[in-house]
Chains A and B, each alone.
Chain A
């Protein structure tokens, strides 16, 4: 299975720019997607196909990357962005998720 590796946690101050990385153990082309999950809630789609912003998601969120290295950027970060962020690939069967990056605000 394709392993997606994310940093476990990040802490940033409101107003800063944050990048959350996701590295795949093999190429996933651009079939990488990002979700936000707040405590006690279901995941919500932020970015699909590496760089496409889901409807209704603030333009502060953006995605980039291809092959094995992908990035989710939040600029500027707001207090409401406290959450865990997951990447998910759909190039290699079975689809797999990263372990999540917990974003905390200072």
Chain B
């Protein structure tokens, strides 16, 4: 069974970098596309970006200067780094899988990790 699990610090100071890990079990990240989505307080959801089976990436233009998605295929993990965070980056962050041969929607999601940006 495919499982995704986010991990990382729950509290980040303003102007610092947010770094999260998505650990995948039951499926190889060298197949499919893999994405990050966040949900803000108040329920607004935002697609942040993805990394493909080959390692190529695509990002939401609203984040393009601050975001980086990378991976470690030996550990079957992929990562999110968001630089220069502000309180507006406070959200629950989810990693998710795109189905095979699709990059339109997400068929498996992690449980999510809540990140608060505060001094």
Contacts and interface: CB of A to CB of B under 8 A. Distances in A.
Given A42-B109, A42-B110, A97 B104 contact: no
The B interface, classified by DSSP as helix, strand, loop or mixed, is loop
A95 B47 contact: yes
Contacts of A99: 43-44
A21 interface: no
A33 to B, nearest CB: 4
B47 to A, nearest CB: 4
Contacts of B62: 1, 94
A49 B45 contact: no
A96 B43 contact: no
B96 to A, nearest CB: 8
B109 A48 contact: no
Interface stretch (A12-20, A75-83, A84-92): A84-92
Interface string B98-114: 01000111110111100
B46 interface: yes
B45 A97 contact: yes
Contacts of A42: 94, 109-112
A103 interface: no
B60 interface: yes
Contacts of A25: none
The interface centre, meaning the residue of B60, B62, B103, B104 with most chain A CB atoms within 10 A of its CB, is: B104
Given A42-B109, A48-B104, 16 more contacts: A33-B104, A41-B111, A42-B94, A42-B110, A43-B106, A45-B105, A49-B104, A84-B43, A86-B45, A88-B105, A90-B103, A90-B105, A94-B62, A95-B104, A97-B37, A99-B43
29 contacts: A31-B104, A33-B104, A33-B105, A41-B111, A42-B94, A42-B109, A42-B112, A43-B109, A44-B109, A48-B99, A48-B105, A49-B105, A84-B43, A86-B45, A88-B45, A90-B105, A94-B47, A94-B60, A94-B61, A94-B62, A95-B47, A95-B104, A96-B47, A97-B44, A97-B45, A97-B47, A99-B43, A100-B43, A100-B45
Interface of A: 1, 31, 33, 35, 41-45, 48-49, 54, 84, 86, 88, 90, 93-97, 99-100
